[in-house]
Amino acid sequence: MYAQMIKSEASKDDPEKLAEFQAKIDADIKVEPRDWMPEGYRKTLIRQIGQHAHSEIVGQLPEGNWITRAPTLERKMILLAKVQDEAGHGLYLYAAAETLGVSRDELTEMLLDGRMKYSSIFNYPTLNWADIGAVGWLVDGAAIMNQVPLQRTSYGPYSRAMIRICKEESFHQRQGYDIMMKMAQGTEAQKKMAQDALNRLWYPSLMMFGPSDAESVHSTQNMAWKIKMNTNDELRQKFVDQTVPQAEYLGLTIPDENLKWNEDKGGYDYSDPDWTEFFNVLKGNGPCNTDRLEARNKAWDDGAWVRDGLMAHAEKKRAAKTAAE
Amino acid sequence: MSKEWPLWEIFIRGQHGLSHRHVGSLHAPDAEMAIKNARDVYTRRNEGVSIWVVEANNISASSPSEKGPLYEPSESKVYRHPTFFDIPDEVGHM
Amino acid sequence: MANVDKEMLAQFLLRMGDNSLILGHRVSEWCGHAPVLEEDIALANTALDLIGQTQLWLGYAAEVIGDKTADDLAFLRDVWDFRNILLVELPNGDFGQTLMRQFLYDAYQSILLPRLAKSSDPRVAEIAEKASKEAAYHVERSADTVVGLGDGTEESHARMQTALNKLWPYVGEIFASDAVDAAMAASGIAPDPASLRAEYDALVGNVMAEATLTIPEGDFAHLGGRTGATHTEHLGHLLTQMQWLQRAYPGASW
DSSP output for A166-221: HHHHHHHHHHHHHHHHHHHTS-HHHHHHHHHHHHHHHHHHHHTT-S--TT-HHHHH
Instruction: Say if CB A120 and CB B32 are below 8 A apart.
Output: no
Whether A25 has a pLDDT exceeding 70, the answer reads yes
Confidence label for A167 from pLDDT (cuts 50, 70 and 90):
confident
Residue A10 has what pLDDT? 73
pLDDT on residue C62: 97
In the three-class reduction of DSSP (H, G, I as helix; E, B as strand; rest coil), residue A29 is classed as: coil
Helix/strand/coil for A31: strand
Secondary structure of A258-322 in the HEC alphabet?
CCEEECCCCEEECCCCCHHHHHHHHHHHCCCHHHHHHHHHHHHHHHHHHHHHHHHHHHHHHHHHH
pLDDT of residue A213: 83
Q: Are A128 and A196 in contact, with CB atoms under 8 Å apart?
A: yes
Q: What angle do CA A1, A273, A162 make, to 5 degrees?
A: 5
Lowest mean pLDDT across A229-233, A312-316, C2-6: C2-6
pLDDT at residue B70 greater than cutoff 90: no
Q: What's the CA gap between A297 and A108, in Å, rounded?
A: 10
User: How much is the pLDDT for A2?
Assistant: 79
More confident residue, C127 or A9: C127
Element holding C95 (H helix, E strand): helix C95-116
Strand, coil or helix: what is B23?
strand
B90 belongs to a structural domain: no
- Residue A170: the pLDDT is 78
Q: Among A5-9, B68-72, C218-222, where is mean pLDDT lowest?
A: B68-72
Question: Which pLDDT value is given to residue A323?
Answer: 87
Question: Is C152 within 8 Å of A310 when comparing Cβ atoms?
Answer: yes
Evaluate whether B29 touches B7 at the Cβ level (below 8 Å): no
| Percent of chain C residues topping a pLDDT of 70 | 99
Considering the entire predicted model, what is its pTM? Answer: 0.93
Q: What is the mean pLDDT of residues C168-184?
A: 97
Mean pLDDT over residues C49-57, rounded? 97
What are A265-296's pLDDT values in tens digits? 999 999 999 999 999 999 999 999 999 999 99
Q: How far is C27 from chain B (nearest CA, A)?
A: 15
| Better-predicted residue by pLDDT, C4 or A71 | A71
Measured CA to CA, the distance from residue A48 to residue A118 in angstroms comes to 10
Length of chain B, please? 94
- At B83 the pLDDT is 63
Asked whether the predicted pLDDT for residue B12 surpasses 70, the reply is yes
The CA-CA-CA angle for residues A53, A303, C46, to 5°, reads: 75
Contact residues, chain B to chain A, C-beta under 8 Å: 1-5, 7, 23-27, 29-30, 33, 41, 44-45, 61, 63-64
Helix, strand, coil shares, percent, chain A, to 5: 70, 0, 30
Which residue range forms the structural domain that includes residue B71?
A: 7-83
Mean pLDDT of B39-62: 85
Residue B48 in this model has a pLDDT that exceeds 80: no
* Contact between C203 and C112 (Cβ < 8 Å): no
Q: What is the mean pLDDT of chain A?
A: 94
pLDDT(B92) > 80: no
User: Measured between CA atoms, how close is B36 to chain C, in angstroms?
Assistant: 7
pLDDT at A314 > cutoff 60: yes
> In the prediction, which pLDDT does B71 show?
56
Domains of chain A, residue spans: 15-324
pLDDT class of A14 with cuts at 50, 70, 90 = confident
Average pLDDT over residues B30-40: 94
Q: Please report the pLDDT score of residue A88 as a whole number.
A: 96
Name the residue facing B7 among A98, A168, A304 (closest C-beta): A98
Q: Between these two residues, B49 and A316, which has the higher pLDDT value?
A: A316
**Which residues from C are below 8 Å from A304, CB to CB?**
35
Number of other CB atoms surrounding residue C101 within 10 Å: 26
Q: Residue C194 pLDDT more than 90?
A: yes
Strands (E), chain B: 7-13, 21-27, 50-55
The whole-number pLDDT of residue B69 equals 58
Beta-bridge partners for B53: B10
For residue C28, CA distances in Å to A77, A84, B28 come to: 10, 10, 22
- C156–chain A Cβ distance below 8 A for any pair: yes
C-alpha C170/C-alpha A47 separation (Å) is: 49
ipTM exceeding the 0.85 mark: yes
Residue of A nearest to C56 (CA): A73
Strand partners, B12: B21, B51
Task: Identify the residue with better confidence: B46 or A161.
Answer: A161
Contact present, C44 and C31 (Cβ < 8 Å) = yes
What residues contact C124, with CB distance under 8 A and at least 6 apart?
Answer: C13, C60, C116, C189, C190
Beta bridge partners of B36: none
Chain C residue whose CA is closest to A190: C252
Q: Is A319 exposed, middle or buried (0-12, 13-18, 19+ CB in 10 A)?
A: exposed
CA-based nearest residue in chain C for residue A129 = C245
pLDDT computed for residue B46 by the predictor: 66
Indicate which CATH number applies to the domain containing B75: 3.10.20.520
Is A155 in contact with A221 (CB distance < 8 Å)?
A: no
Residue B74 forms part of a structural domain:
yes
pLDDT at A285: 95
Which is nearest to C50 in space by CA: C73, C78, C82, C16? C16
Q: What pLDDT does residue A139 have? A: 96
Contact A98 B5 (CB under 8 A): no
Which of B27, B37, B45 to mutate: most C Cβ within 10 Å? B37
Is B94 domain-assigned?
no
CATH of A15-324 among 3.40.640.10, 1.25.40.10, 2.60.120.280, 1.20.1260.10: 1.20.1260.10
Mean pLDDT of A13-22: 90
Partners for C (CB, 8 Å, 3+ pairs)?
A, B
Q: How many Cα atoms occupy the beta-carbon half-sphere of C27 within 13 Å? A: 33
A72 at C interface, C-beta within 8 A = yes
> Rounded distance, CA C215 to CA C60, Å?
36
pLDDT value of residue B60: 87
Banded pLDDT at B18 (limits 50, 70, 90): confident
Exposed / middle / buried, residue A181 (Cβ in 10 Å: 0-12, 13-18, 19+): middle
Note the pLDDT of residue C190.
Answer: 97
The answer to whether residue C67 neighbours chain A at the CB level (below 8 Å) is no
Of A68, A190, A305, the CB nearest to C28: A68
Segment among A141-145, A308-312, C213-217 with least mean pLDDT: A141-145
Instruction: Output the pLDDT for position B47.
Output: 65
User: What count of other Cβ atoms lies within 10 Å of the Cβ of residue C139?
Assistant: 21
**C148 in B contact zone (CB under 8 Å):** yes
Q: What is the mean pLDDT of residues C192-202?
A: 97
Average pLDDT of the residues of chain C: 96
Residue B1 lies in a domain: no
- CB pair distance less than 8 Å for B41 and C41: yes
pLDDT average, residue stretch A40-46: 94
> A184: closest CA among A91, A248, A136?
A248
In this structure, are residues C129 and C115 in contact, taking their beta carbons and an 8 Å threshold? no
Nearest to C148 among A57, A300, A313 (CB): A313
Question: What pLDDT, on the 0 to 100 scale, is given for residue B67?
Answer: 58
Which of A104, A160, A297, A313 to substitute to test the interface with B, most B CBs within 10 Å?
A104
Question: In this model, does residue B3 exceed pLDDT 90?
Answer: no
Q: Residue C2: CB partners within 8 Å, gap ≥ 6?
A: C120, C186, C187, C188, C189
pLDDT at B64: 67
What is the number of structural domains in chain B? 1
Contact C137 B39 (CB under 8 A): yes
**What pLDDT, on a 0 to 100 scale, did the predictor assign at position C4?**
84
Phi and psi at B55, nearest 5°, equal -65, 130
Beta carbons of C44 and A90 less than 8 angstroms apart: no
Measure in Å the smallest separation between the Cα of A310 and chain B Cα atoms: 6
Which residues sit opposite A262 in a β-bridge? A267
Interface of A with C in 100-119 (CB under 8 A): none
Mean pLDDT of C194-212: 97
Confidence tier at B49 by pLDDT (50, 70, 90): confident
The residue ranking higher by pLDDT, B64 or A134, is A134
Whole-angstrom distance, CA of residue A295 vs CA of residue A10: 35
Edge-to-edge strands of the sheet including B21-27?
B21-27, B7-13, B50-55
pLDDT of residue A226: 94
How much is the pLDDT for B43?
85
User: Is A182 in the C-facing interface, judged by CB distances under 8 Å?
Assistant: yes
For A76-97, what is each residue's pLDDT tens digit? 999 999 999 999 999 999 999 9
* Predicted pLDDT at B74: 61
If we measure between CA atoms, which residue out of C175, C19, C12 comes closest to residue C86?
C19
Q: Tell me how long chain A is.
A: 325
* Chain B contact present for C138, CB below 8 A: no
Give percent of chain B above pLDDT 70. 62
Q: Ramachandran region of residue C214, left (φ > 0), alpha (ψ -120 to 50) or beta?
A: beta
Q: How far is CA A264 from CA A260, A267, A269, C26, C174, in A?
A: 12, 8, 11, 55, 72
Q: Quick check: C45 contacting B, CB < 8 Å?
A: yes
pLDDT at C223 over 70: yes
Tell how far CA A314 is from the center of its chain.
Answer: 34
Pairing assessment for the beta strands B7-13 and B21-27 based on DSSP bridges: antiparallel
Q: What are phi and psi of C177, to 5 degrees?
A: -65, 150
Can you give the pLDDT at residue A79? Answer: 96
Averaged over B3-16, what is the pLDDT? 89
CATH topology of domain C6-248: Ferritin (1.20.1260)
Which pLDDT score, from 0 to 100, does residue B87 have?
67
